[in-house]
Amino acid sequence: MFKNVFGSGFLVRTAHVILTWVITLILFLHDTDLRKQEETGELTLPVLFVLLVLVSVLLYFAVSLMDPGFVLTDDCDLQFTLGIAEETQDMIPQTTKSIRLRRCGHCLVQQPMRSKHCQTCQHCVRRYDHHCPWIENCVGERNHRWFVLYLAVQLIVLLWGLYMAWSGFSHAPTWQLWLRTNGVLLGAAAVVAVLSLTVLLLLGSHLYLVSLNTTTWEFMSRHRISYLKHCGVDENPFDRGTLRNLWGFFCIWEPVVWEHVYFKQGNDPI
């Protein structure tokens, strides 16, 4: 279920953890609201902040080390699915959507619909979204919702940290003295601000795509994907409405046979 901690991406994960705790330490060493409350014995917010940072780190490792949905063998369910898909495809007129299910030329497994071979991970991934260099892992069927949850928690931590950094800036009579006094905190705040904007954009884009029941790969490369290039520009065969898309993504944990969804939409006369 989980990858080796000391495998590929060890340096990236180590750098992420070190940066996280160094910035947290800087916020506590400077005269921020966190330190003021700690010194006065009001430990509720400082402890809550540290716990939230810890949760974000644990979610990072969970998403980073989790199996994203690697297709390792030609299972029976897939063969059954392919048989139904072929029968269904025979009943669909040639003018409507049609696909050619194929075997991966790299890992030689039969690819379920919406899967893609990742050149970095060297595996096909179910409901492939993208390979994220930040976590050194693919985002796919099994860890996509955890990735979105991680982004949400990380954004809260970053915005809270940015607010704490702002509260720690001290006044000085000159700019030179101010930079000398607040230089380290200013650097930490700049890093947090850049990361906050990055995570905000990532979270917003993923929630938007999830609401449409599409993936980053499908959104960016639909003209090269066999089961989408025959669809219209605004047509998404997996879209079941915003609420159902969100419910299915966050609340339904069973694997979805996307061939059934695809051909059901294709045969729907409405």
Q: Which residue out of 118, 121, 132, 138 is catalytically annotated? A: 132
Neighbours of 189 (CB within 10 A): 22
Q: Is 231 a catalytic residue?
A: no
Residue 20, both tokens: 């996280």
Beta bridge partners of 85: none
183: exposed, middle or buried (Cβ count in 10 Å: 0-12, 13-18, 19+) = exposed
- What contacts 24+ positions apart, CB below 8 Å, involve 179-187? 182/30, 184/26, 184/30, 185/26, 185/30, 185/32
Residues in the chain: 270
61-99 in b/e form (b: 16+ CB < 10 A) is bbbbbbbbbbbeeeeeebeebbeebeebbeeeeeeebeb
User: Hey, which residues are catalytic here?
Assistant: 132
